[in-house]
């Protein structure tokens, strides 16, 4: 075998899959940002066709051949790091996709597709019983998949690994345990303290002005507009088509400007990650974020460590006042800072504040883990959910629509995904701790609008590698440690102690 | 052979090619309407990859098998009209693509790709000698292709047939001959008459106002916004992704509103064609316009037979005044109508008026025909070009940039394309003549903004068929005749006699 020739063929094959994926992503973006509705049906056929091409290529005999030939121990010695990792990723996908019997997989795809619309209906009617039989089957499938894929320790590890390679129940129990205690204590104290005034947050802020302000902020946060653009959608997202084209969308709520401003900063963090992946990785399957958790760490770094800080608003509050209406005239910077960081335990995850958000995730984690392990049953979920909300957050859903049915994730079978959100918080705080050692004037830089060096630090330690390194490998190299919750504990304790005079 | 099974496989195969094409077209649209520039290089790779997939599928052994099996005379008896035509189209493409030796085709693709940038440079420097050697080779290739493809009568017929099936040199000589005489006589008379006042056309008209007016007009012209959208590009175009998603772009020139208004109406004609193709044809290779000439006939019908008429402005002039600035206050409807229909022989085709436009095309037709037949040489083109412009239009280019180098078409090898533009004029006038027999209150309808029945007539006779019928077949069914220039002659004579009091 001519290794170089084989390697080239493999690269071309993977690049082709990536090309199809880029086409799919352009069409996805287009569907969300204004494709005319009458064309959607046919467009969906095209999307399904290309997605199915990608899937077929991932489990083809040709792919099996590459994995065998280039995965050979002798051959591996002659391969570069990028190719080695590419093969490893392909092998992982191949095995994941191959281990499930075809017939079962097809049933599962149909089940989750149907479950999506049933979940919508159930949520609207606040009727868990509609969704229950579907969820039971989805859980059963995921339990079987875990067996097919194999795992060490807890069965849930098999699912976790698909979103956050290397992170296990053992790790999560430890870090979430550490966090839960602090969060609950902090929350108790905060609730006894005086709440900030927040009425001004809900006064009219014209959409065009929000957009103009968002564009200003994006530029200052080192988002490259020659490699991106900002559009409007119902649900904000960032999408990397290639590192030269990473788009952000946001949502403008005229009676709550925070949705757009903090949403845009959050998506900007996702986007600068993808914009700064090394050009060497373009055309490979490594040219994307390494995991859901690390991706979220970048968006949360931008949102929390930059966008929700006092320093950031010291720089930007005047401009916000200029763009906004008269509501800000009576509000000084301190009051503004307190208001946008208000803590208020609530029922809905996506509306949660920085302090309580992780508790929403911990609740889901505890439920998923027990569910997959067969310790609890689907039929008991509403009660378990409501009890946990009451216990951790002091609020109890009045109906399942604002309770166990609120999130889409289970309807599409994404068990193991939720922890990524909390991991993003933990990684972000841990990275910030390491970053300030290199850039002790972190705060001053934000105050002065000099974010480039901060972004460059993240690029150096995270962005550039794309999927070339695993999450914990990146974390270790950047911080010298494994996953540690204590930096997030410190961050939250310090921030909220100051904010609420605890 | 199970004919039905084979037919289904063939349909799925063709639908797959169409799916790739839809993906390519979405990306093309995206590139023109605001894709960030740093992503273009990688996006171009993806486009090339998908285009090459489509090409490979068109000449694959699998395709050859379908053509053979479903093209069998006994099998054909059992096939429906749509499948028969699908096979015929596939066969045509297959033969066209297969008859050129692979090595020659590859050389040609590289040549035209390089010639594109050389042409740009030559045009900018007004230096034909730079482009000359490339054009010589391109002509030579096209002469060879004509031989490979075969033809009856004139060699140029082989090239014409790729853009306008069934239309030959013999037909064009006849209809262009008829036209040329009338056009030259009319033009002479017009030039002796008094010119309308036109300064107001060039006064400021804000872009936003032009856009608002364009949107109003599109709605009234029966463009379906649930199956389309309007965007801004440097070069306006319409693109049919599928009949439920046909997009228009336009260009706003603040010192000449005509560019956007008439451009939008023109593209609207292209778009309503594609929006109204029968749903039966979705997913087949017939779900597009039947030829360049028929496509152009629809855009020109909208532009000339509706948009540039007095009746149209009787309806819309007040609204235009409201959107526009003060320039229209001093101009009455008659003056406005005369100004937007001013005849002025000029050097540049794309800036030409309705009366002289066809002369620009006839010049190109005469040159292409002689060139392909070896009667003239590339090196003599600048002189031949300039002489013809002087003879037909009374203007002589000062340099080749505004002469023989003005159009991109020859650099990409599109010999045989130019006549489609003039055919569009002829078809449009001929269709209008037939249409007014069914809808004698054509003008009143336009005056009253009731365009739906007019659009429906075009849908009934043209749009719905997509590529299911050939251009001359459609024309015959709609008008009872073959190609006839006299309706265009009558239209132009009547219009300009009135306008200029001839």
* Model confidence band, residue A102 (pLDDT cutoffs 50, 70, 90): confident
pLDDT at B302 over 90: yes
pLDDT value of position A266: 97
Say whether both B77 and B207 belong to one domain. no
Asked if residue B142 is part of any domain, the answer here is no
pLDDT at B314 over 90: yes
Return d(Cα B56, Cα B70) in angstroms, integer: 20
pLDDT value of position B113: 87
Distance (Å) from the C-alpha of residue A243 to the closest C-alpha of chain B? 7
Distance (Å) from the C-alpha of residue B349 to the closest C-alpha of chain A? 34
**Average pLDDT of every residue of chain B:** 96
**Between residues 266 and 325 of chain A, which touch chain B (CB distance below 8 Å)?**
282-283
pLDDT value of position A325: 85
Measured between CB atoms, does B225 come within 8 Å of chain A? yes
Helices (H), A100-168: 102-125, 128-149, 157-163
| Partners of residue A247 in chain B, C-beta under 8 Å | 36
Do the beta carbons of residue A267 and residue A237 sit within 8 Å?
yes
Residues of B annotated catalytic, as ranges: 267
Would you call B39 and A225 a contact, using CB atoms and an 8 Å cutoff?
Answer: no
The dihedrals phi and psi of B241, each to the nearest 5 degrees, come to -85, -45
| Partners of residue B37 in chain A, C-beta under 8 Å | 226, 244
SS3 A331: coil
Distance (Å) from the C-alpha of residue A308 to the closest C-alpha of chain B? 29
Question: Per-residue pLDDT tens for B336-367?
Answer: 999 999 999 999 999 999 999 999 999 999 99
Do the beta carbons of residue B489 and residue B358 sit within 8 Å?
no
Q: What is each CA distance from B162 to A130, B92, B348, in whole angstroms? A: 58, 9, 26
Residue A42's contacts (CB-CB under 8 Å, 6 or more residues apart) are: B22, B242, B244, B245, B282, B283
CA dihedral A50, A55, A58, A62 (to 10 degrees): -70
| Residue positions forming the annotated binding site of A for Zn(2+) | 266, 270, 296
Among B27, B227, B247, beta carbon nearest to A23:
B27
Do the beta carbons of residue B311 and residue B443 sit within 8 Å?
yes
Domain boundary among B80, B99, B118: B99
Measured between CB atoms, does B46 come within 8 Å of chain A? yes
Asked if residue A230 is part of any domain, the answer here is yes
pLDDT at A445 over 90: yes
Return d(Cα B409, Cα B364) in angstroms, integer: 11
Measured between CB atoms, does B150 come within 8 Å of chain A? no
Q: What is each CA distance from B230 to A43, A232, A414, B225, B334, in whole angstroms? A: 19, 17, 38, 9, 30
pLDDT value of position B343: 96
The bridge status of strand A245-250 relative to strand A238-242 is antiparallel
| Partners of residue B226 in chain A, C-beta under 8 Å | 36-38
How many beta carbons lie within 10 A of that of residue B183, not counting itself? 24
DSSP summary character for residue A372:
H
Distance (Å) from the C-alpha of residue B216 to the closest C-alpha of chain A? 18
Interface test with A, best of B12, B20, B26, B223 (most A CBs within 10 A): B26
Phi-psi region of A229 (alpha: psi -120 to 50; beta: other; left: phi over 0): beta
Q: By C-alpha distance, which of A243, A228, A238 is closest to A279? A: A243
* Model confidence band, residue A327 (pLDDT cutoffs 50, 70, 90): very high
Measured between CB atoms, does A480 come within 8 Å of chain B? no
Asked if residue A416 is part of any domain, the answer here is no
Say whether both B315 and B453 belong to one domain. yes
Distance (Å) from the C-alpha of residue A461 to the closest C-alpha of chain B? 23
| Partners of residue A226 in chain B, C-beta under 8 Å | 36-38
Measured between CB atoms, does B23 come within 8 Å of chain A? yes
Residue of A nearest to B20 (CA): A46
pLDDT at B370 over 90: yes
Asked if residue B256 is part of any domain, the answer here is yes
Q: What is each CA distance from A156 to A101, A136, A163, A413, A483, in whole angstroms? A: 20, 16, 12, 13, 19
Measured between CB atoms, does B38 come within 8 Å of chain A? yes
Measured between CB atoms, does B158 come within 8 Å of chain A? no
Q: H or E segment at B427?
A: helix B419-438
The dihedrals phi and psi of A437, each to the nearest 5 degrees, come to -70, -35
Asked if residue B54 is part of any domain, the answer here is yes
pLDDT value of position B25: 97
CA dihedral B292, B297, B299, B304 (to 10 degrees): 150
Measured between CB atoms, does A5 come within 8 Å of chain B? no
SS3 A247: strand
Domain boundary among B32, B64, B99: B99
pLDDT value of position B1: 87
Distance (Å) from the C-alpha of residue A12 to the closest C-alpha of chain B? 11
Measured between CB atoms, does B39 come within 8 Å of chain A? yes
Return d(Cα B494, Cα A352) in angstroms, integer: 72
Q: What is the percent of chain A where pLDDT is above 90?
A: 97
Among B23, B50, B227, beta carbon nearest to A39:
B227
* For residues A383-398, average pLDDT: 97
pLDDT at A196 over 90: yes
Question: Per-residue pLDDT tens for A115-136?
Answer: 999 999 999 999 999 999 999 9
| Partners of residue B46 in chain A, C-beta under 8 Å | 19, 22-23
- Length of chain B as a residue count: 502
Measured between CB atoms, does A34 come within 8 Å of chain B? yes
**Between residues 241 and 260 of chain A, which touch chain B (CB distance below 8 Å)?**
241-245, 247
* For residues B189-204, average pLDDT: 95
* For residues B430-439, average pLDDT: 98
Question: Per-residue pLDDT tens for A213-270?
Answer: 999 999 999 999 999 999 999 999 999 999 999 999 999 999 999 999 999 999 999 9
Q: H or E segment at A318?
A: helix A310-323
| Angle in degrees, CA A145, A148, A151, rounded to 5 | 90
* Model confidence band, residue B382 (pLDDT cutoffs 50, 70, 90): very high
Distance (Å) from the C-alpha of residue B305 to the closest C-alpha of chain A? 28
Would you call A245 and B39 a contact, using CB atoms and an 8 Å cutoff?
Answer: yes
* Annotated catalytic residue A481: no
Structural domain span for residue B271:
199-346+440-482
Say whether both A77 and A226 belong to one domain. no
* For residues A317-329, average pLDDT: 94
* For residues B12-31, average pLDDT: 97
| Partners of residue A225 in chain B, C-beta under 8 Å | 36
pLDDT at A484 over 90: yes
Say whether both A324 and A458 belong to one domain. yes
Return d(Cα A22, Cα A14) in angstroms, integer: 12
Say whether both A218 and A337 belong to one domain. yes
Would you call A245 and B19 a contact, using CB atoms and an 8 Å cutoff?
Answer: no
Do the beta carbons of residue B203 and residue B327 sit within 8 Å?
yes
Would you call A225 and B27 a contact, using CB atoms and an 8 Å cutoff?
Answer: no
The dihedrals phi and psi of B230, each to the nearest 5 degrees, come to -115, 130
Asked if residue B403 is part of any domain, the answer here is no
Q: What is each CA distance from A494 to A336, A337, A486, A499, B228, in whole angstroms? A: 19, 15, 12, 9, 53
| Partners of residue B248 in chain A, C-beta under 8 Å | none
Among A26, A30, A38, beta carbon nearest to B227:
A38
pLDDT value of position B325: 85
Say whether both B89 and B229 belong to one domain. no
Domain boundary among B70, B99, B128: B99
Return d(Cα A322, Cα A151) in angstroms, integer: 56
Q: By C-alpha distance, which of A496, A499, A462, A111 is closest to A291? A: A462
Q: What is each CA distance from A45 to A312, B54, B239, in whole angstroms? A: 45, 17, 19
pLDDT value of position B35: 95
Do the beta carbons of residue B112 and residue B140 sit within 8 Å?
no
| Partners of residue A49 in chain B, C-beta under 8 Å | 16, 19
For B342-371, the three-class secondary structure string (H helix, E strand, C coil) is: CCCCCCCHHHCCHHHHHHHHHHHHHHHHHH
pLDDT at A295 over 90: yes
Return d(Cα B356, Cα A299) in angstroms, integer: 59
The dihedrals phi and psi of A204, each to the nearest 5 degrees, come to -55, 135
Do the beta carbons of residue B415 and residue B151 sit within 8 Å?
no
Q: Is B266 annotated as a binding residue?
A: yes
Would you call A16 and B49 a contact, using CB atoms and an 8 Å cutoff?
Answer: yes
| Partners of residue A46 in chain B, C-beta under 8 Å | 19, 22-23
Return d(Cα B405, Cα A82) in angstroms, integer: 48
* For residues A384-392, average pLDDT: 97
Would you call B46 and A19 a contact, using CB atoms and an 8 Å cutoff?
Answer: yes
Measured between CB atoms, does B450 come within 8 Å of chain A? no
Return d(Cα A130, Cα B107) in angstroms, integer: 63
Q: Is B248 exposed, middle or buried (0-12, 13-18, 19+ CB in 10 A)?
A: buried
Return d(Cα A454, Cα A137) in angstroms, integer: 46
- Size of the A and B interface in Cβ pairs below 8 Å: 108
pLDDT at A72 over 90: yes
Would you call B282 and A23 a contact, using CB atoms and an 8 Å cutoff?
Answer: no
Tally of domains in chain B: 2
Would you call B43 and A227 a contact, using CB atoms and an 8 Å cutoff?
Answer: no
Return d(Cα A48, Cα A51) in angstroms, integer: 5
* Model confidence band, residue B102 (pLDDT cutoffs 50, 70, 90): confident
Would you call A38 and B244 a contact, using CB atoms and an 8 Å cutoff?
Answer: yes
Asked if residue B68 is part of any domain, the answer here is yes
| Partners of residue A19 in chain B, C-beta under 8 Å | 45-46, 49-50
Residue of B nearest to A241 (CA): B39
Return d(Cα A365, Cα A368) in angstroms, integer: 5
What CATH number should be reported for the domain holding residue B235?
Answer: 1.10.1370.30
**Between residues 408 and 447 of chain A, which touch chain B (CB distance below 8 Å)?**
none
| Residue positions forming the annotated binding site of A | 266, 270, 296
SS3 A354: helix
Asked if residue B496 is part of any domain, the answer here is no
| Angle in degrees, CA A44, A45, A48, rounded to 5 | 85
């Amino acid at each position: 075998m001519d290794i170089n020739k084989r390697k080239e063929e493999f690269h071309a094959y993977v690049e082709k899959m990536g090309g199809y994926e880029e086409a799919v992503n352009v069409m996805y973006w287009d569907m969300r940002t204004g494709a005319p509705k009458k064309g959607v049906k046919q467009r969906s056929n095209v999307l399904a066709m290309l997605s199915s091409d990608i899937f077929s290529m991932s489990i083809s005999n040709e792919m099996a051949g590459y994995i065998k030939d280039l995965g050979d121990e002798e051959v591996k010695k002659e391969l570069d790091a990028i190719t080695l990792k590419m093969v490893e990723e392909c092998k992982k996908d191949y095995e994941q996709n191959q281990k499930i019997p075809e017939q079962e997989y097809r049933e599962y795809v149909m089940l989750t597709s149907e479950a999506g619309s049933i979940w919508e209906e159930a949520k609207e009617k606040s009727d868990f019983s509609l969704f229950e039989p579907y969820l039971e089957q989805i859980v059963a499938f995921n339990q079987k998949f875990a067996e097919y894929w194999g795992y060490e320790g807890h069965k849930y590890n098999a699912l976790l690994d698909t979103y956050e390679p290397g992170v296990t129940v053992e790790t999560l129990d430890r870090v979430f345990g550490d966090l839960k205690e602090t969060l609950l204590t902090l929350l108790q104290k905060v609730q006894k303290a005086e709440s900030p005034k927040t009425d001004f947050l809900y006064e009219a802020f014209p959409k065009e002005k929000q957009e103009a302000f968002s564009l200003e902020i994006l530029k200052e946060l080192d988002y490259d507009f020659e490699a991106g653009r900002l559009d409007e959608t119902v649900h904000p997202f960032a999408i990397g088509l290639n590192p030269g084209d990473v788009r952000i969308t946001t949502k403008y709520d005229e009676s709550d400007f925070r949705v757009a401003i903090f949403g845009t900063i959050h998506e900007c963090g996702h986007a600068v990650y993808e914009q700064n992946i090394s050009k060497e990785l373009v055309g490979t399957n490594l040219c994307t974020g390494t995991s859901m958790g690390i991706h979220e760490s970048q968006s949360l770094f931008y949102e929390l460590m930059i966008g929700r800080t006092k320093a950031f608003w010291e720089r930007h509050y005047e401009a916000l006042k200029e763009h906004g209406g008269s509501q800000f005239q009576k509000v000084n910077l301190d009051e503004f800072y307190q208001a946008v960081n208000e803590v208020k335990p609530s029922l809905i995850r996506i509306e949660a504040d920085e302090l309580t958000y992780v508790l929403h995730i911990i609740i889901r984690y505890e439920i998923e883990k027990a569910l997959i392990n067969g310790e609890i049953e689907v039929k008991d979920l509403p009660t378990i959910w409501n009890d946990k909300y009451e216990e951790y957050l002091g609020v109890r859903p009045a109906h399942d629509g604002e309770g166990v049915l609120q999130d889409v994730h289970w309807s599409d079978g994404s068990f193991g995904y939720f922890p990524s959100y909390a991991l993003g918080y933990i990684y972000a705080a841990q990275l910030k701790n390491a970053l300030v050692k290199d850039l002790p004037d972190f705060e001053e830089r934000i105050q002065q609008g000099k974010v480039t060096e901060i972004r460059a630090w993240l690029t150096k330690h995270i962005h550039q590698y794309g999927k070339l390194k695993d999450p914990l490998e990146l974390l270790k190299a950047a911080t010298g440690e494994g996953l540690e919750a204590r930096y997030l504990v410190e961050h939250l304790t310090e921030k909220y102690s100051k904010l609420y005079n605890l």
